[in-house]
A and B are shown apart, each in its own frame.
Chain A
Amino acid sequence: MAIPDNRVVVAARGLTRQYPGVKALDGVDLTLRAGEIHALLGENGAGKSTLINLLTGAQRRDGGTITVDGVEIDPDGPGGAVRAGIAAVYQEITLLPNLSVAQNLYLGREPTRWGLVHRARMNREGGALLRRFGLNIDASRPLSDFSTAVQQLIAIARAVDLSAKVLILDEPTASLDTAEVQTLFTLLRSLRDQGLAIVFVTHFLDQVYALTDRITVLRNGRLVGERLTADLPRLELVAMMLGKAPTAESHLSRRPASARPAGAPLVRAEGLGRRRLVGAFDAELRSGAVLGAAGLLGSGRTETALLLFGVETADEGQLVVDGKPVTLRSPRDAIRLGFGFCPEDRKLDGIVAGLSIRENIVLALQAKRGWWRRLSTAQQHELADRYIKLLDIRTPDAEKPIQLLSGGNQQKALLARWLATAPRLLILDEPTRGIDVGAHAEIVRLLEDLRDRGMALYVISSEIEEVAAYSDQVLVMRDRAPAGLLEGEAITPAAIVNAIAADHHGRGAA
């Protein structure tokens, strides 16, 4: 197992990568040692992808150094990194399905005879190589004949055969089932014992503790710390990832739940779930109350919203709205019931960047009315101006393209879009992500305001203190299944972190 003085293979120091307006990576160190599996952890936007891209040469660094076995490298493409001994395998299989397995293994370095590719030898050697990785398959068959799990092992075999120093695995287990994960782990352990340095990116904490020797945690582009896995309690790890000391007092004031009247139950999810998406969860959404959802990236928190809004159709459990069972087949069904949904990624799923603020705001209401009952231009202006004033969206006028607004104002415009439809239930996924701290408080105040006016809110957030401050109930998700429901006085940031960090056996982390 890992001893602290294993030979250092890769030493990255002070890595920095700048995007317009934001530092994706800010002076991050990473030390990889031979014969160790190193977990690279962090929430969305922590800088994991950027760090991997710098190591594999997919992007150039703006500052810092990377040395491999003491020699500085500056890869400008996958070729350069591979020559230096660093190869990566991604969750999405980046092999070529139109080629044979052997062609994939030896692309660009095929064995030749008289200047021609020696196919028989390539297939033979490919088969032998794969047998060393526990795969007994005919390497001359097309790659597309094999399952994702097998293709992944083939990708690993190729990467290790290419450069036997450092293997980076970016969320390799995300699309594998339990047995396939075990096969992969067995292989990775044997590669480690052969002296390979392995980087393992995942958001499954159980897998981190089952497999890795050392952990590096990133948050918001900065290094939080590097620890030995055996010495890092789960609770502390989660706290590192979320940036909250588990015992810290919340600076946000929390209104006692008893001060507010309990609203009427509006929507009840009874054992709602979908295979391979999220395990059955219960939730009750009441008018004038906030249900918070907490959990790490990939815990299934977003997926609960997808089921509640009909983006994905549940295949088990029951959704009860106004006391009547309903089935949501599409977001249209949900909108008809008076639901609204502000998704996590504004740029991807939310704003229509090229359209004006006004057009973005009226979009959902227009869709709800049907396209043949067009809102008049005057109505649109009235609506847009009202919400710009109401939500204090900072813009000179409603005709400005929404992409020119700051993140916080974009988020408010999205809120306005759904508020215009007068929803009874509003689902918000990470409403405060990527906006500055001052705007956080404004959004939170807005949510509290909506709640007080009788709207039911379902708010998914990784800002644990905020969730703890405004929620009447908190649904904690872990490994794509519910891990607990906190109510009333039990809702504290520490309790939430504890519930997130608990392992499969229900024990709180020590």
Chain B
Amino acid sequence: MGRFMNTRTLPLLATVVVFVLIYAVCAVQYPAMLGLRVIGNLLTDNAFLGILAVGMTVVVVAGGIDLSVGAVMGLTTVALARLIEGAGLPPALAFALVLTGGALFGAGIGAAIHVLKAPAFIVTLTAMFLARGCALLISTDSIPIHDAGYDALAGAALALPGGGRLTLVAGIMLLTFLAGGVLLHGTRFGARVFALGGNAHFAQLMGIDTRSTTILVHAFCSLMAALAGIVFSLYTRSGYALTGTGVELDAIAAVVIGGTLLTGGVGGVAGSFIGVLIQGLILTWITFDGTLSSWWTKIAIGALLFAFIAVQRLILVASARYGRSGAGPAAPSPSTRSRPSPSAAAPSAP
């Protein structure tokens, strides 16, 4: 026990244990899955999901949620294809444009959430329809990208021993996780994100600017969604408006499996990384099996997700029962019964 086993690290530990177990089962059954080739493919195939999960982790730690990331990703791919194929822009410029656009879109989401005091769920649902609609307006067809530089980028890879390849997109994903980890756990901004997710009102009382934090958090998440769109278009060398339908839920699943609490304030990107790998691993195992429908992946993820939510709940209940009660509000002392909290004090006339 001690500081490495508390309510914060236990869900993450559980995730790691599950990952190791699944990997062990895979390795025993199909030794080929141990090879770097399979691992390289695993990273490449799930690169877009990993990048989405980084953004989603930051939003969820801040106490929010973002349902629009899949749609933003789809919009990004089709916008990229149109900019490169239609307008003839060099890929680098197109990348810069879609990344800027993504960040601004997210900033708009954050501003709407803060100003309207609306739940993130509703605002990002709106944003999801908006982004998907815009993508379909640009084109309902898949647009292939024929740019030579694009092909070079898509094919770029680092050879790994054993015939494996660490592709550029996998590398981008790994770097994103690294950057996300530093941002969330190493910077003042990260501390603000945790504070906001812990208790937005208290964070405000402690002098945190909740408006700018909310805006930046969502800008970052949508920026990651745009980056995921770039990675996905490199992966498929095309743009298609319906890309990424439903992946926001895969990303949320990865975040929750990774031990980040949906209530905010607790979590991190390392867990989300493993959450993504677990999803990829299950899919790979089903592919190796060959007889099972790939839809079993969804069933397995659903079961896992349920198990993790139950485990998190149990941990919370257990820590509330056996842990020190200091965290909660003071015992309901009689004099405080009708006494408003600092926030509630404002509108109540004497």
Residues on A lying within 8 angstroms of B by beta carbon are 19-22, 24, 44-47, 49-50, 53, 58-59, 77-79, 82, 90-99, 103-104, 107-108, 110, 112, 115-117, 141-148, 150-151, 158, 162, 170-171, 174-175, 203, 220-221, 276-278, 297-298, 300, 302-303, 306, 344-345, 348-349, 434, 480
- Which of B29-37, B66-74, B307-315, B335-343 contacts the other chain? B335-343
CB–CB A117/B333 < 8 A:
no
| Interchain CA distance A329-B293 in the complex, whole Å | 57
- Which of B46-54, B84-92, B112-120, B202-210 contacts the other chain? B202-210
Which B residues are CB-close (under 8 A) to A221?
350
| Interchain CA distance A142-B5 in the complex, whole Å | 12
Which A residues are CB-close (under 8 A) to B182?
116
Q: Is B11 at the interface (CB under 8 A from chain A)?
A: no
Residue on A nearest B327 in the bound complex, by CB: A144
Q: Is B246 at the interface (CB under 8 A from chain A)?
A: no
CB–CB B330/A141 < 8 A:
no
318-350 of chain B: CB within 8 A of chain A? 323-324, 326-327, 329-331, 333-343, 345-347, 349-350
Which A residues are CB-close (under 8 A) to B192?
107-108
CB–CB A115/B327 < 8 A:
no
Which B residues are CB-close (under 8 A) to A98?
8, 194, 197-198, 265-266
Partner of A146, one of B191, B202, B324: B324
CB–CB A203/B335 < 8 A:
yes
| Interchain CA distance A302-B337 in the complex, whole Å | 10
CB–CB B330/A115 < 8 A:
no
Q: B183-205 interface mask toward A, CB cutoff 8 Å, 1 = contact, 0 = none?
A: 00011101110110111011111
| Interchain CA distance A109-B294 in the complex, whole Å | 50
CB–CB B342/A58 < 8 A:
yes
Partner of B350, one of A24, A97, A480: A24
CB–CB A142/B8 < 8 A:
yes
Residue on A nearest B345 in the bound complex, by CB: A49
Which A residues are CB-close (under 8 A) to B195?
96, 99, 107
**Between-chain CB contacts (< 8 Å), 14 pairs:** A58-B343, A91-B336, A92-B342, A94-B199, A94-B201, A97-B198, A98-B194, A107-B195, A110-B191, A144-B323, A144-B326, A148-B326, A150-B326, A300-B334
Which A residues are CB-close (under 8 A) to B191?
99, 103, 107-108, 110, 117
Q: B104-146 interface mask toward A, CB cutoff 8 Å, 1 = contact, 0 = none?
A: 0000000000000000000000000000000000000000000
CB–CB A151/B198 < 8 A:
no
Q: Is B287 at the interface (CB under 8 A from chain A)?
A: no
Q: Give chain B nearest CB distance to A156 CB in angstroms.
A: 14
Partner of A175, one of B188, B205, B330, B343: B330
| Interchain CA distance A180-B326 in the complex, whole Å | 14
Q: Give chain A nearest CB distance to B32 CB in angstroms.
A: 41
167-186 of chain B: CB within 8 A of chain A? 182, 186
Which A residues are CB-close (under 8 A) to B207?
77-79, 82, 107-108, 162
CB–CB B346/A58 < 8 A:
yes
Residue on B nearest A480 in the bound complex, by CB: B334
| Interchain CA distance A257-B202 in the complex, whole Å | 54
| Interchain CA distance A47-B339 in the complex, whole Å | 13
CB–CB B350/A45 < 8 A:
yes
Which B residues are CB-close (under 8 A) to A297?
335
CB–CB B350/A147 < 8 A:
no
Q: Give chain B nearest CB distance to A481 CB in angstroms.
A: 12
Q: Give chain A nearest CB distance to B260 CB in angstroms.
A: 12
Residues on B lying within 8 angstroms of A by beta carbon are 3, 6, 8, 182, 186-188, 190-192, 194-195, 197-199, 201-209, 265-266, 323-324, 326-327, 329-331, 333-343, 345-347, 349-350
CB–CB B202/A94 < 8 A:
yes
| Interchain CA distance A289-B225 in the complex, whole Å | 73
Given contacts A144-B324, A348-B338, contact A276 B194 (CB under 8 A): no
Q: Give chain A nearest CB distance to B288 CB in angstroms.
A: 40
| Interchain CA distance A244-B330 in the complex, whole Å | 34
CB–CB B194/A99 < 8 A:
yes
Which A residues are CB-close (under 8 A) to B334?
277-278, 298, 300, 302-303, 306, 480
| Interchain CA distance A22-B327 in the complex, whole Å | 37
Which B residues are CB-close (under 8 A) to A49?
340, 345
| Interchain CA distance A349-B338 in the complex, whole Å | 9
Q: Give chain B nearest CB distance to A335 CB in angstroms.
A: 20
CB–CB B202/A174 < 8 A:
no
Besides A171-B339, A480-B334, 10 other A-B contacts (C-beta < 8 A):
A24-B349, A78-B205, A90-B342, A97-B327, A98-B194, A98-B265, A147-B324, A203-B335, A298-B334, A298-B335
| Interchain CA distance A95-B199 in the complex, whole Å | 9
Q: Give chain B nearest CB distance to A111 CB in angstroms.
A: 10
Q: Give chain A nearest CB distance to B3 CB in angstroms.
A: 7
Which A residues are CB-close (under 8 A) to B346?
53, 58-59
Q: Give chain B nearest CB distance to A314 CB in angstroms.
A: 13
CB–CB B350/A96 < 8 A:
no
Residue on B nearest A103 in the bound complex, by CB: B191
Which A residues are CB-close (under 8 A) to B186?
116-117
Q: Give chain A nearest CB distance to B27 CB in angstroms.
A: 37
| Interchain CA distance A179-B349 in the complex, whole Å | 35
Q: Give chain B nearest CB distance to A457 CB in angstroms.
A: 22
Given contacts A59-B346, A108-B208, A116-B182, contact A147 B329 (CB under 8 A): no
Most chain A CB neighbours (cut-off 10 Å) among B194, B335, B345: B335
Residue on A nearest B334 in the bound complex, by CB: A303
Q: Give chain A nearest CB distance to B343 CB in angstroms.
A: 8
CB–CB A112/B349 < 8 A:
no
Q: Give chain A nearest CB distance to B264 CB in angstroms.
A: 8
Which B residues are CB-close (under 8 A) to A300?
334
Residue on B nearest A348 in the bound complex, by CB: B338
Which B residues are CB-close (under 8 A) to A96?
194-195, 198-199, 202-203, 206, 265
| Interchain CA distance A151-B8 in the complex, whole Å | 19
CB–CB A94/B205 < 8 A:
yes
| Interchain CA distance A497-B276 in the complex, whole Å | 69
| Interchain CA distance A78-B188 in the complex, whole Å | 19
| Interchain CA distance A220-B350 in the complex, whole Å | 8
CB–CB B3/A174 < 8 A:
no
| Interchain CA distance A477-B213 in the complex, whole Å | 48
Which B residues are CB-close (under 8 A) to A480?
334
Which B residues are CB-close (under 8 A) to A99?
191, 194-195, 198
Which B residues are CB-close (under 8 A) to A141?
3
Residue on A nearest B3 in the bound complex, by CB: A141
Which A residues are CB-close (under 8 A) to B265?
96, 98
CB–CB A146/B326 < 8 A:
yes
Which A residues are CB-close (under 8 A) to B350?
22, 24, 44-47, 50, 220-221, 434
| Interchain CA distance A82-B209 in the complex, whole Å | 13
Partner of B6, one of A117, A142, A170, A220: A142
| Interchain CA distance A284-B187 in the complex, whole Å | 64
Residue on A nearest B6 in the bound complex, by CB: A142
Q: Give chain A nearest CB distance to B339 CB in angstroms.
A: 8
| Interchain CA distance A373-B197 in the complex, whole Å | 47
| Interchain CA distance A78-B335 in the complex, whole Å | 26
CB–CB A58/B345 < 8 A:
yes
Q: Give chain B nearest CB distance to A176 CB in angstroms.
A: 9
Residue on A nearest B190 in the bound complex, by CB: A117
| Interchain CA distance A78-B327 in the complex, whole Å | 23
| Interchain CA distance A207-B239 in the complex, whole Å | 72
Which B residues are CB-close (under 8 A) to A21?
349
CB–CB A20/B340 < 8 A:
no
